[in-house]
Structures are given as structure tokens and as C-alpha cells.
Amino acid sequence: MERKYFDTELSPPQTTPFGIFADQAGYLPDSVKTAFIPFRCESFDVTDMNGNVRFSGDTVCRGHDGISGDELWTADLTGFSDTGTYRIKAGGKISAAFRIGCDVYDDVLAETSKAFYYLRCGCGLDERFAGKWHHGKCHTSPAKLWENKNITLDVTGGWHDAGDYGRYVTAGACAAAHLLYAFRLFPEIFEKQRLNIPEKGCPDILSEVRYELEWLMKMQDSEGGAYHKATTFIHAPFVMPEDDRDEMFVFPVSSMATADLAAVCALASGIYYAYDSAFSEKLLKAAERAAHWLDTHPQFIGFRNPEGCNTGQYGEYDDHSNRFWAYSELYALTGETAFHEKMISSLGEDFPLTALGFAEVGGLGSLAYIICDRDKDAALAERLADEFRREAEELKKTADSCGYGVAMKSADHCWGSNMGLMKKGMIFALNDVLFGDASCRGYAERHIHYLLGANPLGISYVTGIGEFRCCHPHLRPAFADGIDECIPGMVAGGPNVQLNDPFAKKLIPKGTPPMKCYADDAASYSLNEITIYWNSPTVFVLAYLCDI
């Protein structure tokens, strides 16, 4: 039964028709603009769509780049800033079309934000909002408690996690937190954004995140603990969500899920207060109940799939960073010294203080503390800020030694490498916004350029964006809907040297350089799946760029 849809011959993934690689959405006029040329050539032209040469320059030889395997030349078109649509030409080859303008990321931000709507569970997607990607109601039956199957629960709602139809608390809390922090740091961007979703009354992104928060609160048990996940026992075949009629189960409470739920509800409570004080109060109560559970369950309660269950596990080895994040958000929200003390004592354990999820969430706790306007332990606030600054300095070094200009090492090319790419982008964005390190902007931009086509495969990893882009993500509805055009705005997992599925092993020849271990094939879940928490850091970085 499992993935039988792909037992047939695989169609060979498309390779780019372009020979020069640039960001296919484009560049802000005053940005550094670098295109990548993986063959020897002396000079380049930038032409408009009528073929008129608008800018020319000499290339720079970068030599051999190990992580991509390319002999690399770059074209610097920073000096050209006229608004318009262009291609780069060099050595008889061309790039995909790209734009220069102040609004080049508006559409990408809108599409990657709207992606969450397309992943809604427990409702139908109406044609008025989903266009041709509308579909019927899914996963509306009550779910059975795994530990006592006589008990059923209503856990409808939330977003499908990924290419599968599971819903997982730690993953959902992390994605929601990225979007909430994006709103918090760049509110004007989201106040003017229109996503064409059903709800009104607050910025669309907040309505969308609320859809997930309402579900998260349904995942809380009577003692305040959070069930780890709501999924079927086995992943659905490649059918539309409304045709997945397998029994849904609610799996046991974990301490990571409970802490993450406390954290994101506290964060959200502060943000929604201005729009709906009753909802804000409900979030506060949920966060406090989860915090109480954490107090009465000081030991780590992890999660392991029961024998035979193949839906996502999201197991972790400890819950230290999760507890830190929870207490930090609760302190930021309430100002209660008890939360401050618990936050400080949770720092006794060693964990990364800049990690932005989904498993290690210490960076989210640091962020909450750094930006809150409560009384702070000045030395601690400084230490956390230093961690972010140090991280940015480290990442700059890596990015500067990388041919394609991103802070990605070989080992970073693992399952969901584009999440790592975007979280590095977030670190740079945060260092600019919070600590005024203006040199970080260019680094943040490079990470978006890479995601959108300035990479050794010349592909835009975001569906619907760019002339040569991911079109066949491992995403059940995108495969089952029979529509040629893929649901837009979805961020593909990206290159993965570990080739963690049988299709990846068939598709990628041995010895392929890390940045090229990718194929746009729906079969390969370890190369080409999508998830909510790969989209969410992308939304954050794009919102930062749109805010410039």
C-alpha cells in the first residue's frame, strides 16, 4: 500500500534550460546583484525583454567550488538598478527572466503566506479562495485517543504538516511562531497584505495563524498537557485529503509538545490582544495550563511512534530548549517573576540559544526575551544578543567562502536543507533589525536569491515562482488533483546528501556534489517534500526584505 503510486518508472526530472543562474523573482534596486555562471566566459550583458543591451560587465573567475562542483564565474550587476524585467546573457547562454524593482518580493511573500491556507485541514477549500485548487472537507471525523480507543476527541482544524496529512504540535507551534514573529517585527507588511482567505477583522496572516492556534488548543488535554500529534497510523496514499478516510488517532502527550504549545500560545496571546481580547485570554489560559503541566511534570516525556506506525515522529532527545522557550514567552507576556526564575533555571542545561526550531527552539526563547519590554537581567539579555551576533559572524565566514554566497556547509545539505537556508536568512535579518548590523542585509538577500534560483541547479525551490521552478513537490493534493499547474508558494525541502528515500537513491548518482543532490520528483520525500516549517522561515525573511 505504501506509496504504491510511485512503483512505476520515474520520469527523469527536468534540468534547467538556462545556463546562467539568478534570482528568478529578482532584486531590489539598491541591492548587490550577483548572477552565477558555471562556465568560462569573459563578459556578460543584461538585456531587456526586447533584447536591448541595458548593462554590461566583466565576469569574475571564482575557481572551483567544492560544494556545488562548479567551475564558477560571477556577473556583478549591482551597478544596474533600472526597474524592469531582464535576462543575463554570456557565452551564448541566458538566464531566466528576473525583475529589478522595489516590489519584487511582494508576490513571493503573498504566495508563500497563502500556502498555509492551501494546507488547511478540517474544512473544504472554497473555489472563491482556492481557485482551481479547491477541494472538499477533509479529516472531519472525531479522532480516537491512541491510549484508550473508547475515547474520541474533536481535533479537527489546523494545517496539514507537509506532503502528508498529519498534524504535529511541535512542528505546528514552530511554524506559527515564525509567522507571528514576522508579523511582530514587520507589521506594516502584513497590515497591507491581502491573501484572499475567508476571515476578516484582522491582518490576514493573523487569521491564517489563528486557524492553527485553534487546533493547537484542541490538542491540549484536561491537565494541560499537549498531545504530540493527530495522524493516521500509516501515511495516506496519494489521494486528495477528503479521500483519506483512515482512522485518525491522537497520540500521547509529550513534554516538548506541551512546552511548545505554552510558548506559542503565550506569544500569540500578546499579539491577538489588540484584535480580539477574548481570544487572547483563551490563549493565555491555554499557555498557563500548559505551564502548570510542565511544573508538575519536570521529567522529559518524549515521543516514539508505536511499532508499525510510519507517520511523522518528531521525537527529540530532551525538552530543555522547549521549556526555556515556554518560560521566556510566558515571562514576556505576563511579567511574572516566577516565569522569569523558571526561564533562568531552564538555562542551566546546555542547548543552542539561537536555534529557531522545529526541534531546538532556544533561539525563539532568546528572541522573546531580547525584544520584550519587561524588567530584564541585563547581563543575560546581552549574552543572548551576543549569541545572535556571534552566530551571524560565523555564518558570514561560511557564506564568504561559498561559491554561491550562502552559509551552507556540506553537512547542512540534509533533509529539508532549505529550512536551514532560510533560518540562516532569519539570523541575518534579526541581526539587522534587532542590533542594527546593516552588513547582514546583503547576506539575508543572498539566501533568498539562492532559494529562488541563484543556485547550482538554477531552480526556484518555490512552486509557482520563476520560469524554471519546482513543479512536482511531494505533496499529496498537488499530485492527486490532476491539475497541471502546481499549488503555488510551497517551499521544497531541497538538496539532501543523505538521500533518505529509495527514490532519491535512484535519482541522484553517487558522488553528486551536495548542492546538486536534488530532483524535482514527487516520489522523493527526502528531497522534494514541502512542510509548514520550511515555508514559515521563508515568509519571515521575505517580510524582512519587503520591509526594506
Show which residues are catalytic: 164, 474, 520, 529
Site string for ligand 9MR, 58-97 (x = CB under 6 A): ----------------------------------------
- The residue within the footprint of Zn ion, chosen from 87, 114, 135, 139 (CB under 5 A), is 139
- Least spacing, CB of residue 85 vs ligand 9MR, in Å: 35
Q: Per-residue x/- mask for ligand 9MR, residues 401 to 440, rule CB under 6 A? A: --------------xx------------------------
Kindly write down the DSSP assignment for every residue of 325-359, as one continuous string.
HHHHHHHHHH--HHHHHHHHHHTTS---SS--SSS
Residue 138 interacts with, from ligand 9MR, Zn ion, none (CB under 5-8 Å by kind):
Zn ion
Q: Residue 94 in contact with residue 88, Cβ under 8 Å?
A: yes
Q: For the chain, give percent helix, strand, coil, nearest 5.
A: 40, 15, 45
Count the helices and strands in the chain (H runs, E runs): 17, 15
Integer Cα distance of 353 and 358 in angstroms: 13
The sign one gets for the Cα dihedral 396, 407, 444, 32 is positive
Sign of the torsion formed by the C-alpha atoms of 301, 306, 310 and 311:
negative
529 touching ligand 9MR, by CB under 6 A: yes
Please tell me the distance from the alpha carbon of residue 184 to that of residue 167, in angstroms, as a whole number: 25
CA atoms in the 13 A half-sphere facing the CB of 123: 17
- CA distances to 84, 146, 167, 262 from 360, in Å: 42, 26, 19, 15
What x-and-dash track marks residues 182-221 binding Zn ion by CB under 5 A? Answer: ----------------------------------------
CA-to-CA distance for 535 and 537, rounded, in angstroms?
A: 6
Segment 78 to 137, residues that bind Zn ion, using CB under 5 A: 121
Indicate the residue among 33 and 139 with the shorter CB distance to Zn ion: 139
Smallest separation, CB 230 to Zn ion (Å): 10
405 phi/psi in degrees, rounded to 5: 80, 15
CB of 144 to Zn ion, least distance (A): 16
Pair 270, 37: CB distance under 8 Å:
no
Determine the Cα–Cα distance for residues 400 and 394; give it in Å rounded to an integer. Answer: 10
230 binds Zn ion (CB under 5 A): no
Rounded least distance, CB 471 to Zn ion, Å: 23
Residues 312-351 that bind ligand 9MR (CB under 6 A): 312-314
- For ligand 9MR, give the closer residue by CB, 91 or 315: 315
Kindly state whether residue 521 participates in binding ligand 9MR, applying the rule CB under 6 A.
Answer: no
Closer residue to ligand 9MR, CB minimum distance, 351 or 358:
358
Residue 454 or 523: the one with the smaller Cβ distance to ligand 9MR is 523
- Interaction mask 145-174, ligand 9MR, x per CB under 6 A: ----------------xx-x-x--------
Q: How far is the CB of 210 from Zn ion (least distance, A)?
A: 17
Residues forming contacts to ligand 9MR in the complex (CB under 6 A) are 161-162, 164, 166, 312-314, 415-416, 525, 529, 531
